[in-house]
Structure 1
């Protein structure tokens, strides 16, 4: 109760948190022990409050949940500091606070959590230093502190964490030096420290002694000195030392054959490209742009490689001093070569050289898996919740997928297509599903992280069932939220962005099913004891209810007929489910604006139309007649400089307006970004009120009877 008093729940996701006991009344997001404890009670073991649009603060009383194993409040709007009392929960294994607005410093008391496996505070506003006491986290495997405002020296004592696998400290304000002791962590697979300021520190030579390192990312860290020899790290796949002040030649010793990415761009490196780079069969990206490299361009980098249909190699050599081509300049179609800004581009005798001397940026695009399924013998429901399983062995099998937002936080590759099938095998085998049951609907790169939208389909073995049952949905959700996928250094750490239950899954209660049954039995026994006492009251109640029901039916028919009569050409009446599906249940990641009326979300309708959905907040709700009158007025406003009204939603106590989506930002952005000249902007702002005034006067004069009514 103390926890819920500190939380603000605008979506009323926790509306049942005041009914009875949390464990026996199936409180949303509360997972309890399966069996009674020695004290005769069930105990709260997990709080799963992922992505519920919660705000407010975390209550210090959380520390009293002495049996808690997982505290998951990811992707909300929580503010305030992290309660030090959480450090008293000795059973805690997962502390997941990322994606909020938490501030203050890291409590030293969290270092007492000897059973903690995963500590995620990334994407908050945490400041101050990392306490040295965190070296006592003897079971921790994952420390994700990236995208905060942490500062000071990274404690070298963290090298005592012998179980540590992933250390993500990028995008903070760390200074001092790189701790050379980190190379002593035996299982460390990913060390990511990008976007910090280490004040001209060198990269320790000891970093060549990592035993299991797969990814080393020190991008934009104000480092200097030489590139260390990392050839002894046989597991290394990804190396990013770009945007530093590194000098000297590139080490000539051959790196691991597993290398996918080498980014040494924007330094002061000299010498030539090592010949060992031509013997890296898995290479996807080599970038040495904006350096002082000389010599010929070695074409054998791609000539010695065998490419599959999904492979790709990008060589970015721009803005160096390469003066000639070594070999034949005939890269295959899946090799992208960029040579702009080198003296070799001035050689008019080389054919097709202009193809490689442009200045394109080569940004990674967003990929969509839009393979259509041709099915004419059977139709899926058109509500958007059911669809054909793309890879189903049974043609045109229609089912309701589970929709999952998922992100690889630090993958060890830079191009996904060659790894799509291994990823699908990795995930379905971990979930004990068949390969056809998973589909990657969309995916895209965002600042080195790989976001994707997954769909999991039920098995076709039971042809009468087209949706997962409750136990299977709960099992899959728990697998994702408990981080049960086995370690894979290629894909690296992951995070669950959302697990949205829509369509046939929407009304299911997945918490504590077994204890709900026991509680039902108890209620049945109590009910039997008082059955005789309520029998007479029931008869009287039935008679009264029947009369009341007839009256309510007449009233509802009247209200329904008034709504049905609301037909406007070109304006669609959407259901609440359609709006929830279009915005991923009004996920905060789809919000594009907010005003006095309410919040505005970017949504995608079932026909792939992108719209802007303006959702009224409780204080802005109108009466039904006023709301429908506003829709009528808006539907008559047509101008090339005004967004068109697509439709509206007036269900379940909600009022929403659906407009066409304008993707190029707001008027404020255009004016402040100097996309209009000052004169035009001034004229627009000066005359805009007059335009609006005369337009509405015209409407009033031509439709005065309707306005008067």
Structure 2
């Protein structure tokens, strides 16, 4: 009996304390039926990263469960109920469980941007409290359930960008509160139900890119609040645009592109706020209405059979950005006062596309401001010999299109080294305090149906609108980049910076991050119809925010309950700690006796073939007992030492610090992988040490440091273009080997100039690759599938924007990063310098035909054609869209072709030109750069991590 008490006493005590706690806390727990519904929902999903693995443990409202938000007690039964289920962009697959319909108080159901398939459960129609149903960006199929029409409190229904088929249920006319109905980009067929005209609160109706047919319902003109009607790319064969649509008095945007419409264009002059009218690629006839709203930014009537002349009243459209009338039957003159009657600001644009008509004359002078693009090809006016400069406007593609916009940027004279970009910090643009350094929140954001054709003139208004909605100061928002997508839509990357205050905080606190995320995900912004509906693509937490978890809003517990819990916990802790201390003292001696024996046996069983084991004593001797004079750098993994082995071989020794130690199995698994990677352009692993609680990796020593050293302004030696081209080719070959010949394949994920090392002959060798970068296996067709990461890995400036946004890692992510390195080789710039982005800067001068203005002056003379091709290759590698980037094999072949074009005297540098002359750790090392943009890994193994050295570059 005493023996039982001795061993079971602590366990019984802890169990008793747990029961006391649960008895106190149970006064406010989640409804068990809703817990079961959540478990059923989880079991129907496939979560590759185990976000949801704790859904069967404890109470969802007191556990930190991803995506579940509960509030205080509802009703008289003492139970809390789930009110929000938000699983945005978590790479989930599987299907939606019917049991979701049991979440009786649910207000927000958000599964946007996952990989869900199957159908939408009809049981969701039972959740009468539902306000937001957000399922867009998945692979859902089947028909829209009729039962969703019972959701009388629903304000937003988004199922766009799925594979939904069937017809739009007439029951949706009962969605009396709905303001946003987004069913676009599916395979929905049949007619648009005229019953939708009963939706008196409807603001935005997006049905574009479906298989809708029949007539356009004239009854839609009865929608009193409608602002955006977008029906592009459907087949309303033979239907006319109802003349009653002129009664849509609050309409801002009407887009009916490619809908097989016929007949005349109605008179829309009575719609005062109409800004965007797209009726292109139909079969419309007749003339253009002579009067349109003065707020027009876009008129697209191309690809019809319209005739008559261009109305002179268009000269009153002073904010017009695009007038597209090409491929029609227009005759008469072109009124030059369309551009002559207005003044242009720097960012204003006006494109007039009048090609392929019968226009014969220009009324006025053909002296266009640089903001204006005019296209006249295919008109009789192009053969008018009396207009001296007419030829430049009559090509099939006139120059100065104006369709390409560059994102905003800023300049700063702040010292680069003062802002620790290795933890995703940067200078705050337009900060009221000069050189204020902070870490921003990074957000993917998209305008789904904007009412303009060019964004730059409206950026200031957009920033003002967004910061006002978020309750931020204007300087706290920075639009890092934006790009027009098909739709048209505007996808952008936003940065939100913390405010400068007396406490000089450089990051948002968790409460503020949660508030901002909630503003985006709950659609609480003040509505703006001109910018149209938006969607949150990603709310990425990196750097200091990477450990934050905001899935749950915890419920409040009364002070009395907390007091009881606290007293009970103290009593339990005192008794338990006494017993545990006695047990630890007794068992500690036996543990130490067995420890050395266990270590020895594991060493024997876990040797790695082809890799040498070094004892701790050998490592200490090689580095003079890890003397600080032998240290050549440090990184996220630990310190790096230059060592000399007993056979006089010089090596680089990476010694893990306590926080970087792995489990022994993981350590040996990774060494096993690295031991199989052998290529002329990869840094070679020589051996390892796993002894006395230490983990060390031993690599070949690279005497000429990193590529970043050689590109630094402080570098004494210079690289000519031929040398740079060979370094680029060697790096590409090393990465190509990892992608295609390593077994298993490896995606590097952190390619940068400081991870490309140079040996004594200046041969490039790629470093920093390991187990955490394993590529996905091949599918049955032999192609590599996309790999998805829980968090983003990489260095600011080098990270593929698409990978950053979607977390989907592919070989094209490495191509992007290597493209950045190519731009560094070409220009000598850092990826991010004084607030500018190297891709945007080089792309801008390349488009302007001024590529050679940014070439690194230290490169000396160079063959211009080769440099031009190398620059074009680099920019292709850095294309925003992965599909438009070359493969690594194509990169290697293009570099080889450029090398063949080089004059013989420049093509290949002599291997004897740079003999190994380093004799001390201060002159050269495995890593010797002081790279201000080096970054520790955000996540994952870091066995060969980047290093920020402690010595000056050569």
TM-score range, shorter chain: 0.7 to 0.9
The answer for the alignment partner of 1:528 in structure 2 is: 570
Query: Residue 173 of structure 1: which of 206, 211, 218 is its match?
Result: 211
Shift of 1:380: 1.2
Over residues 429-487 of structure 1, what are the superposed CA-to-partner deviations in whole Å (9 max), with x where a residue is unaligned? 11111000000000010010011100000010144310001111011000000001111
The answer for the alignment partner of 1:645 in structure 2 is: none
Change (3 A) 1:148 1:454: same
Query: Residue 242 of structure 1: which of 270, 280, 304 is its match?
Result: 280
The answer for the alignment partner of 2:844 in structure 1 is: none
CA contact 2:349–2:402 (8 Å) conserved in 1: no
Distance 2:216 2:346 in 1: 41
Distance 2:76 2:200 in 1: 34
The answer for the alignment partner of 2:454 in structure 1 is: 415
CA contact 1:399–1:467 (8 Å) conserved in 2: yes
Distance 2:888 2:356 in 1: 38
Task: Between 315-324 and 528-537, report the one with greater CA deviation.
Answer: 528-537
The answer for the alignment partner of 1:470 in structure 2 is: 510
* Aligned partner of residue 126 in structure 1, secondary structure: strand
Distance 2:350 2:203 in 1: 29
Change (3 A) 1:664 1:455: closer
Query: Residue 372 of structure 2: which of 320, 335, 341 is its match?
Result: 335
TM-score, normalised with respect to structure 2: 0.61
The answer for the alignment partner of 2:793 in structure 1 is: 579
Over residues 536-576 of structure 1, what are the superposed CA-to-partner deviations in whole Å (9 max), with x where a residue is unaligned? 44214654579679979897872864336477743232697
The answer for the alignment partner of 1:79 in structure 2 is: 117
Shift of 1:114: 0.4
Shift of 1:523: 5.8
CA contact 1:384–1:606 (8 Å) conserved in 2: no
Query: Residue 481 of structure 2: which of 436, 442, 462 is its match?
Result: 442
CA contact 1:603–1:610 (8 Å) conserved in 2: no
Query: Residue 263 of structure 1: which of 278, 300, 323 is its match?
Result: 300
Over residues 66-125 of structure 1, what are the superposed CA-to-partner deviations in whole Å (9 max), with x where a residue is unaligned? 111001110000000000000000110000000000000000000000000000000000
Distance 2:513 2:563 in 1: 24
Shift of 1:579: 1.7
RMSD: 3.1
* Aligned partner of residue 293 in structure 1, secondary structure: strand
Shift of 1:512: 3.6
Change (3 A) 1:514 1:316: same
CA contact 2:800–2:813 (8 Å) conserved in 1: yes
Task: Between 579-588 and 322-331, report the one with greater CA deviation.
Answer: 579-588
Distance 2:87 2:457 in 1: 35
Distance 1:148 1:668 in 2: 36
For structure 2, the residue ranges without an aligned partner over 5 or more in a row are: 1-38, 600-657, 668-688, 703-756, 758-764, 773-790, 824-881, 892-954
Query: Residue 486 of structure 1: which of 526, 532, 548 is its match?
Result: 526
The answer for the alignment partner of 1:405 in structure 2 is: 444
Distance 1:114 1:259 in 2: 35
Change (3 A) 1:662 1:289: closer
* Aligned partner of residue 360 in structure 2, secondary structure: strand
Change (3 A) 1:578 1:46: closer
Query: Residue 539 of structure 1: which of 556, 581, 600 is its match?
Result: 581
* Aligned partner of residue 189 in structure 2, secondary structure: strand
Distance 1:206 1:248 in 2: 18
Q: Is 1:123 aligned with 2:123?
A: no
CA contact 1:590–1:601 (8 Å) conserved in 2: no
Over residues 222-252 of structure 1, what are the superposed CA-to-partner deviations in whole Å (9 max), with x where a residue is unaligned? 0000011101100100000000000111111
* Aligned partner of residue 143 in structure 2, secondary structure: coil
Task: Between 344-353 and 362-371, report the one with greater CA deviation.
Answer: 362-371
The answer for the alignment partner of 1:199 in structure 2 is: 237
Q: Is 1:562 aligned with 2:696?
A: yes
Shift of 1:666: 5.5
CA contact 2:226–2:251 (8 Å) conserved in 1: yes
CA contact 2:90–2:114 (8 Å) conserved in 1: yes
Task: Between 159-168 and 368-377, report the one with greater CA deviation.
Answer: 368-377
**Greater CA radius of gyration, 1 or 2?**
2
Change (3 A) 1:231 1:397: same
Change (3 A) 1:482 1:578: closer
Shift of 1:270: 0.6
Q: Is 1:374 aligned with 2:413?
A: yes
TM-score, normalised with respect to structure 1: 0.81
Query: Residue 141 of structure 2: which of 73, 98, 103 is its match?
Result: 103
The answer for the alignment partner of 2:186 in structure 1 is: 148
Q: Is 1:277 aligned with 2:314?
A: yes
Q: Is 1:289 aligned with 2:314?
A: no
Change (3 A) 1:419 1:602: farther
The answer for the alignment partner of 2:56 in structure 1 is: 18
The answer for the alignment partner of 1:298 in structure 2 is: 335
For structure 1, the residue ranges without an aligned partner over 5 or more in a row are: 594-598, 612-660, 671-709
Distance 2:188 2:170 in 1: 14
Shift of 1:532: 4.7
The answer for the alignment partner of 1:63 in structure 2 is: 101
Corresponding residue pairs, total = 617
Change (3 A) 1:485 1:338: same
Over residues 588-620 of structure 1, what are the superposed CA-to-partner deviations in whole Å (9 max), with x where a residue is unaligned? 846475xxxxx8746865995599xxxxxxxxx
Query: Residue 313 of structure 1: which of 343, 346, 350 is its match?
Result: 350
Query: Residue 384 of structure 2: which of 323, 342, 347 is its match?
Result: 347
* Aligned partner of residue 422 in structure 2, secondary structure: coil
CA contact 2:538–2:806 (8 Å) conserved in 1: no
CA contact 1:590–1:602 (8 Å) conserved in 2: no
* Aligned partner of residue 515 in structure 2, secondary structure: helix
* Aligned partner of residue 297 in structure 1, secondary structure: strand
Distance 1:501 1:588 in 2: 11
CA contact 1:602–1:610 (8 Å) conserved in 2: no
The answer for the alignment partner of 1:677 in structure 2 is: none
Change (3 A) 1:434 1:521: farther
CA contact 1:166–1:190 (8 Å) conserved in 2: yes
* Aligned partner of residue 178 in structure 2, secondary structure: coil
Distance 1:567 1:669 in 2: 31
* Aligned partner of residue 558 in structure 1, secondary structure: strand
Query: Residue 498 of structure 1: which of 500, 516, 538 is its match?
Result: 538
The answer for the alignment partner of 1:323 in structure 2 is: 360
Distance 1:175 1:398 in 2: 56
Superposition pairs of residues 203-242 of structure 1, within 5 angstroms: 203-242=241-280
* Aligned partner of residue 62 in structure 1, secondary structure: helix
The answer for the alignment partner of 2:197 in structure 1 is: 159
Change (3 A) 1:239 1:223: same
Task: Between 516-525 and 272-281, report the one with greater CA deviation.
Answer: 516-525
Shift of 1:266: 0.4
Over residues 601-644 of structure 1, what are the superposed CA-to-partner deviations in whole Å (9 max), with x where a residue is unaligned? 46865995599xxxxxxxxxxxxxxxxxxxxxxxxxxxxxxxxx
Task: Between 475-484 and 551-560, report the one with greater CA deviation.
Answer: 551-560
The answer for the alignment partner of 1:393 in structure 2 is: 432
